[in-house]
């Protein structure tokens, strides 16, 4: 959405005391709009914050629809008052939150930020807080809840208006806390500039392949600005195992709370047991030590668990409340998600970059020595070097690789495939099956029962094939094939059914009678 529904009328002079207002001494703002198409009479247009590139035409349309003023970074020809600000995106976030009544000031507000692992960490934190308070608002790329409505669609590039409306609804529905995943897109667009945080959780600061050097520097600068939005009593929680993040935190926030599996810090974890579909940890928080059992696999998931525990520790929650809330979440869709089946071990993970793929395969290798069969989607919007790195990881770790291509056109998809193969020493060992549904079925049916199967590149996302326009997901296809595989291997003939019915009617010899 690009419109902030009226809630509280605000004074632009109070919100932007250093801004220059032309054509009036002050302007009352009842609703904020990033696009003229959503303008309501008496609303304020934030010119340049939407998708339109023709600001003059955008202003004329907003005036025709009843706009009362314009907020802009430069003077524009207009018959209505203008408020000149240095950054219109930051101004939109501040104004939208002011119109919504500054909801982040009224409840505990936790922001989860970093280059990797934000979604899982945010969901674990929300699960822990929900266990304590019964209701919590959360907003992440897999979905959200405002306390009354669950399963809300949330996007990585959510606007400042979307976030302000989510926060206002969460407060209105009686949520005592909110958890927000702050994506790189939100940082660059300053969508959370109007928020105030009780806790900021930093998951990692590894370089992301999706960002070029210029944008990467912009994200780091935005992270530094974000620290200025922590409330006076607020806390910074960070992953102390990330060396780059650890150095960065020591430079800007030396009194933060650290957590990790390897580093000596405030909240520490120790690996106790690893199974094919589970792992257990011992967590130390201050003087308290407690075990945690989870179906979330790998060291990254273990560190996200520690991050959620560190937030509970900072809030002063009881150990049993922290552990109970964390153990409530046993599955994150598309994030090292195991498909339960007695016939094959199938794991689904987003793993859309070389470093993420390496982490996923390392997690599987730590839980089992069995060979890994990987169905990998060719990464989208990646450079030739990044695609070559993806191919190199696939060849080095997986015993069998099947490449799929579901996102791009045939010509561009072929180029991407060639780049992935360029990163392999023996490209002939890689199988190419563009149809992802066929590739998944091939991997499951041709693998051995002891093999580990990793479906990488899509996570919980949905895709289509050239055979059908119906959207499908890795989870849907894997569950169907595993179900069919079980039916093929465990037939129940009619004679067996009759024998079982006859056996059920026979008297049973009781060795021990509880009566």
Share of the chain above pLDDT 70, in %: 89
Distance of CA 212 to the CA centre of its chain: 20
Structurally, the chain folds into a number of domains equal to 3
Do 386 and 479 reside in the same domain of the chain? Answer: yes
What pLDDT was estimated at residue 127? 94
What pLDDT was estimated at residue 508? 36
Do 194 and 304 reside in the same domain of the chain? Answer: yes
Domain boundary among the residues 306, 328, 350 is at 328
Q: Which residue has the higher pLDDT, 491 or 420?
A: 420
> Confidence class of residue 4 from pLDDT cuts 50, 70 and 90?
low
Average pLDDT over residues 340-359: 90
What pLDDT was estimated at residue 489? 62
Domain boundary among the residues 99, 115, 139 is at 99
Domain boundary among the residues 75, 99, 123 is at 99
Contact 118, 181 (CB under 8 A): yes
What does the pLDDT look like over 267-321, one tens digit per residue?
A: 999 999 888 788 999 999 988 999 999 999 889 999 999 999 999 999 999 999 9
Q: Where is 197: in which H helix or E strand? A: strand 197-202
Do 321 and 408 reside in the same domain of the chain? Answer: no
Residue 453 forms part of a structural domain: yes
What pLDDT was estimated at residue 389? 93
Look at 4-18, 23-37, 337-351, 444-458 and tell me which has the smallest mean pLDDT.
4-18
Q: How far apart are CA 208 and CA 483, in angstroms?
A: 37
What pLDDT was estimated at residue 507? 42
DSSP string, 237-268: EEETT-HHHHHHHHHH-TTPEEEESSS--SEE
CA angle 408, 335, 320 (to 5 degrees): 160
Q: What mean pLDDT value characterizes the chain?
A: 87
Do 251 and 113 reside in the same domain of the chain? Answer: yes
What pLDDT was estimated at residue 515? 32
What pLDDT was estimated at residue 102? 94
Average pLDDT over residues 118-130: 95
Distance of CA 259 to the CA centre of its chain: 20
Residue 59 has pLDDT above 80, yes or no: yes
Residue 153 forms part of a structural domain: yes
Do 119 and 14 reside in the same domain of the chain? Answer: no
Residue 101 has pLDDT above 80, yes or no: yes
Do 313 and 359 reside in the same domain of the chain? Answer: no
What does the pLDDT look like over 369-383, one tens digit per residue?
A: 899 999 999 988 788
> Confidence class of residue 510 from pLDDT cuts 50, 70 and 90?
very low
What pLDDT was estimated at residue 221? 80
Query: What region does 134 belong to: left with phi over 0, alpha with psi -120 to 50, or beta?
Result: left
Do 200 and 252 reside in the same domain of the chain? Answer: yes
Do 41 and 108 reside in the same domain of the chain? Answer: no
Look at 199-208, 242-251, 399-408, 505-514 and tell me which has the smallest mean pLDDT.
505-514
What does the pLDDT look like over 452-470, one tens digit per residue?
A: 999 999 998 888 876 667 8
What does the pLDDT look like over 144-160, one tens digit per residue?
A: 999 888 888 999 889 99
Residue 505 forms part of a structural domain: no
Average pLDDT over residues 388-399: 93
Residue 338 has pLDDT above 80, yes or no: yes
What pLDDT was estimated at residue 290? 93
Do 281 and 349 reside in the same domain of the chain? Answer: no
Residue 353 has pLDDT above 60, yes or no: yes
Residue 178 has pLDDT above 90, yes or no: yes
Q: Which domain holds residue 137?
A: 103-328
What pLDDT was estimated at residue 494? 43
> Which residues 6+ apart lie within 8 Å of 389 measured at CB?
209, 354, 423
Q: How far apart are CA 49 and CA 35, in angstroms?
A: 8
Residue 447 has pLDDT above 70, yes or no: yes
What pLDDT was estimated at residue 278? 87
Contact 312, 325 (CB under 8 A): yes
> Confidence class of residue 411 from pLDDT cuts 50, 70 and 90?
low
Do 215 and 300 reside in the same domain of the chain? Answer: yes
Q: How far apart are CA 60 and CA 68, in angstroms?
A: 12
Two tokens, residue 16: 């932007």
Tell me the residue ranges of DSSP E strands in 108-160.
108-113, 137-140, 143-145, 150-152
Share of the chain above pLDDT 90, in %: 59
Residue 210 has pLDDT above 70, yes or no: no
Q: How far apart are CA 485 and CA 344, in angstroms?
A: 9
> Which residues 6+ apart lie within 8 Å of 47 measured at CB?
55, 58, 59, 62, 70, 71, 72, 76, 88
What pLDDT was estimated at residue 259? 96
Burial of 264 from C-beta contacts in 10 A (0-12 / 13-18 / 19+) = exposed
Do 346 and 223 reside in the same domain of the chain? Answer: no
Q: How far apart are CA 112 and CA 237, in angstroms?
A: 9
> Confidence class of residue 126 from pLDDT cuts 50, 70 and 90?
very high
Long-range pairs for 391-394: beta carbons < 8 A, 24 or more residues apart:
391/419, 391/420, 391/421, 391/422, 391/423, 391/424, 391/427, 391/430, 392/354, 392/423, 392/424, 393/354, 393/357, 393/358, 393/361, 394/357, 394/420, 394/424, 394/430
Q: How far apart are the first and last CA of the chain?
A: 66
Contact 92, 71 (CB under 8 A): yes
Residue 494 forms part of a structural domain: no
What pLDDT was estimated at residue 404? 92
What pLDDT was estimated at residue 506? 40
CA angle 355, 357, 360 (to 5 degrees): 110
Residue 508 forms part of a structural domain: no
Residue 54 has pLDDT above 50, yes or no: yes
CATH number at residue 121: 3.40.1190.10
Residue 500 forms part of a structural domain: no
Q: How far apart are CA 386 and CA 321, in angstroms?
A: 43
Contact 224, 248 (CB under 8 A): no
DSSP string, 411-437: HHHHHHHHHHHHT-SSGGGEEE-S-HH
What pLDDT was estimated at residue 188? 86
Contact 422, 391 (CB under 8 A): yes
Residue 509 forms part of a structural domain: no
Neighbours of 233 (CB within 10 A): 6
Average pLDDT over residues 409-416: 72
Average pLDDT over residues 82-108: 93
Residue 511 forms part of a structural domain: no
């Amino acid at each position: 959405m690009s419109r902030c529904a009226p809630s509280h009328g605000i004074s632009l002079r109070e919100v932007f005391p250093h801004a220059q207002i032309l054509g009036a001494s002050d302007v009352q703002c009842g609703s904020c709009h990033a696009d003229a198409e959503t303008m309501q009479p008496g609303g304020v247009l934030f010119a340049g914050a939407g998708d339109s590139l023709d600001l003059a035409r955008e202003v004329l349309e907003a005036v025709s629809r009843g706009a009362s003023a314009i907020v802009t970074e430069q003077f524009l020809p207009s018959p209505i008052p203008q408020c000149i600000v240095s950054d219109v995106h930051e101004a939109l976030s501040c104004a939208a939150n002011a119109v919504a009544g500054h909801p982040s000031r009224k409840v505990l507000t936790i922001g989860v930020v970093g280059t990797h692992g934000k979604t899982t960490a945010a969901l674990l934190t929300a699960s822990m807080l929900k266990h304590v308070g019964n209701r919590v608002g959360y907003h992440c790329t897999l979905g959200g809840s405002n306390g009354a409505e669950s399963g809300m669609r949330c996007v990585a590039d959510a606007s400042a208006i979307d976030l302000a409306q989510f926060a206002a609804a969460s407060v209105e529905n009686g949520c005592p806390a909110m958890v927000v995943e702050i994506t790189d897109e939100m940082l660059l667009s300053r969508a959370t500039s109007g928020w105030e945080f009780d806790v900021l959780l930093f998951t990692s600061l590894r370089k992301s392949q999706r960002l070029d050097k210029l944008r990467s520097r912009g994200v780091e600068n935005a992270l530094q600005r974000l620290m200025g939005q922590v409330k006076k009593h607020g806390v910074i929680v960070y992953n102390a195992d990330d060396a780059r993040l650890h150095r960065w935190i020591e430079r800007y926030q030396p009194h933060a709370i650290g957590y990790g599996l390897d580093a000596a810090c405030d909240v520490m974890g120790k690996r106790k047991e690893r199974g094919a579909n589970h792992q257990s940890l011992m967590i130390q928080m201050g003087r308290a030590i407690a075990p945690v059992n989870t179906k979330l696999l790998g060291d990254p998931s273990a560190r996200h668990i520690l991050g959620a525990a560190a937030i509970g520790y900072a809030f002063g929650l009881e150990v049993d409340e922290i552990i109970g809330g964390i153990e409530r979440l046993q599955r994150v869709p598309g994030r090292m998600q195991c498909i339960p089946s007695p016939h094959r071990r199938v794991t689904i993970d987003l793993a859309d970059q070389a470093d993420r793929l390496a982490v996923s395969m390392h997690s599987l290798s730590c839980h089992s020595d069995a060979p890994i069969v990987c169905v990998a989607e060719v990464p989208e919007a990646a450079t030739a070097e990044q695609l070559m790195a993806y191919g190199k990881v696939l060849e080095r770790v997986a015993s069998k690789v099947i490449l799929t291509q579901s996102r791009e056109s045939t010509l561009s998809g072929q180029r991407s495939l060639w780049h992935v193969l360029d990163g392999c020493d023996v490209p002939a060992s890689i199988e190419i099956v563009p149809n992802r549904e066929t590739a998944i079925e091939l991997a499951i049916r041709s693998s051995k029962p002891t093999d580990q199967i990793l479906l990488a590149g899509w996570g919980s996302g949905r895709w289509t094939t050239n055979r059908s326009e119906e959207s499908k997901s890795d989870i849907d296809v894997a569950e169907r094939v595993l179900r069919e595989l079980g039916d093929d291997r465990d037939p129940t003939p009619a004679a067996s059914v009759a024998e079982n019915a006859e056996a059920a009617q026979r008297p049973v010899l009781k060795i021990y009678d509880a009566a």
